[in-house]
């Protein structure tokens, strides 16, 4: 699990520079800027998580080919990934820029925050190619054993984003627009550094220009990554639906939701990272037919993730304002955010199991099942429950937060039944 530490810090820095916008805007901007950045970030998170889901297909394949020492297959997989993700980046950029206004209105954005949201979305959409490019290059580097260099790149990006945020938002008072420019600048530099490094270093195996083409390896990447990408998209759509529901409660509720969602990005980070790392490590062990070691790796990951979750959940239950005041100085937003955290934070305990088990399943290429249980939990559990709770007289964000842990319980029950029924990993090592 030592391999996971650089990846953990890398993701921490990514979350940090993604949260820097909200932090600086919360200190120097207006409440409508906070709402605009939080709503816009939700939409951009959909893009990022789609890419991360699809790159898991690359990671799993590279892990299996490394484990079986199939180096030509490995090189051709990388070539196919370049073609696939270039097309995806261009397509997503076109869609987001073309339908910026429609997306803003669809999210039931409070009227005070409409212009801020549109500005943030349009600028960030122009940087989608940087988001896609950086995550693809980083996934390749990590799977080839270099998890430290991506950490350096994202550290540089984090510093750039924070500096530009303070200049444009803090000094020039550009609000959500300034925050978006800072984010795109940081993403651009991190992608450029990562790309130059990979080109100079190479992949360590024979790689030819002819490998960059349409091939069967694109199909293989999609077979593994598409269910995860679709899962991420639909889950993020569910978050957007929840945002739409909460936005009906007014500007303060909208801003509070955005603050808590950013916080949960930090609080769930160990489980998210360990789940992602597990997919790669399990794939490597499966390729080498080390099935017992794969199970042991899962146990260690859950223990580490759960230990952190217990700490952060305790803090949220005692006094969540300690955390919510990090992103805003508005007292109403601080208090409402803490109410939301009181129930939502229970999710951290449950996702310690869920994300790690999902990583384990993905390493075995059981990506369709991880997609199915996530979608059932989200669209049959969390969204209907959130809508139901929103109808409660005198409803608060405390009630809205209950839906999250209840939906995770649905996933965990489905996983328990799946393991009992299939016993797919009950394989003797050769």
What percent of the chain stands above pLDDT 90? 34
Task: Return the H-helix or E-strand segment holding 310.
Answer: helix 291-319
Which burial class, exposed, middle or buried, applies to 71 when counting CB atoms under 10 A from its CB (0-12, 13-18, 19+)?
middle
Among 332, 316, 319, residue whose Cα is nearest residue 256: 332
Q: Which residue has the higher pLDDT, 423 or 281?
A: 281
Each residue's pLDDT tens digit, 349-404: 999 999 999 989 988 888 889 888 988 998 899 889 988 988 888 888 998 889 98
- For residue 40, the model assigns a pLDDT of 87
Q: Is the pLDDT of residue 343 over 90?
A: yes
- For residue 291, the model assigns a pLDDT of 84
Range with the lowest mean pLDDT among 85-94, 306-315, 374-383, 403-412?
A: 374-383
Each residue's pLDDT tens digit, 98-127: 999 998 988 888 888 899 999 999 999 999
Task: Return the H-helix or E-strand segment holding 421.
Answer: helix 403-422
Q: Is the pLDDT of residue 87 over 70?
A: yes
Q: Interior CA angle at 77 toward 74 and 81, to 5°? A: 145
Each residue's pLDDT tens digit, 4-48: 566 666 666 666 666 778 788 888 878 888 888 888 887 888 888
End-to-end, the C-alpha distance of the chain in Å comes to 24
Give me the residue spans of the domains in the chain.
4-422
Listed in sequence order, the residues at least 6 apart from 180 whose beta carbon sits closer than 8 Å to its beta carbon are 21, 40, 119, 120, 121, 122, 123, 124
Q: Residue 327 is encoded by which pair of tokens?
A: 């992103």
Q: Is the pLDDT of residue 242 over 90?
A: no
Categorize the per-residue pLDDT at 430 as very low, low, confident or very high, splitting at 50, 70 and 90.
very low
Return the axis-axis angle of helices 31-67 and 175-201, rounded to nearest 10°.
Answer: 20
The residue written with tokens 């959940």 in the block is 313
Among 16, 12, 14, 21, residue whose Cα is nearest residue 180: 21
Each residue's pLDDT tens digit, 244-294: 888 888 888 888 888 898 788 788 888 888 887 887 788 888 877 888 888
């Amino acid at each position: 699990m030592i391999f996971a530490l650089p990846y953990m810090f890398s993701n921490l820095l990514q979350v940090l520079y993604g949260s820097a916008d909200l932090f600086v805007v919360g200190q120097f901007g207006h409440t409508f800027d906070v709402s605009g950045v939080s709503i816009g970030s939700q939409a951009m998170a959909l893009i990022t998580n789609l890419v991360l889901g699809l790159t898991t297909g690359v990671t799993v394949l590279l892990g299996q080919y490394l484990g079986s020492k199939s180096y030509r297959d490995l090189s051709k997989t990388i070539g196919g990934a370049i073609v696939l993700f270039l097309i995806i980046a261009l397509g997503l950029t076109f869609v987001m820029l073309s339908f910026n206004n429609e997306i803003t209105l669809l999210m039931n954005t409070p009227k005070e925050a409409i212009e801020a949201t549109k500005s943030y979305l349009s600028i960030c959409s122009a940087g989608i190619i940087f988001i896609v490019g950086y995550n693809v290059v980083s996934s390749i580097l990590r799977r080839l054993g270099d998890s430290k260099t991506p950490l350096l790149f994202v550290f540089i990006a984090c510093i750039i984003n924070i500096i530009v945020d303070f200049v444009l938002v803090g000094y020039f008072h550009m609000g959500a627009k300034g925050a978006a420019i800072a984010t795109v600048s940081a993403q651009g530099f991190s992608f450029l550094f990562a790309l130059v490094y990979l080109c100079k270093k190479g992949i360590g195996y024979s790689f030819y220009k002819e490998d960059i083409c349409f091939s069967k390896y694109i199909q293989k990447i999609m077979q593994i990554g598409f269910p995860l990408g679709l899962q991420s998209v639909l889950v993020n759509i569910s978050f957007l639906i929840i945002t739409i529901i909460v936005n009906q409660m007014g500007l303060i509720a909208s801003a509070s939701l955005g603050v808590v969602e950013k916080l949960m990005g930090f609080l769930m980070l160990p489980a998210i990272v360990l789940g992602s790392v597990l997919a790669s490590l399990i794939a490597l062990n499966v390729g080498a037919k080390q099935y017992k070691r794969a199970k042991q790796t899962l146990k260690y990951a859950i223990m580490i993730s759960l230990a952190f979750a217990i700490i952060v959940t305790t803090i949220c239950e005692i006094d969540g304002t300690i955390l919510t005041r990090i992103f805003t100085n508005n007292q109403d937003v601080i208090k409402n955010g803490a109410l939301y955290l009181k129930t939502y934070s229970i999710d951290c305990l449950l996702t310690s199991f869920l994300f790690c088990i999902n990583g384990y399943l993905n390493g075995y290429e059981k990506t369709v099942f991880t997609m199915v249980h996530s979608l059932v939990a989200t669209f049959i559990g969390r969204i209907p429950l959130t809508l139901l709770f929103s109808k409660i007289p005198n409803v608060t964000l405390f009630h809205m937060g209950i839906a999250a842990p209840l939906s995770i319980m649905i996933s965990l029950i489905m996983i328990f039944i799946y393991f009992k029924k299939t016993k797919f990993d009950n394989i003797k090592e050769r």
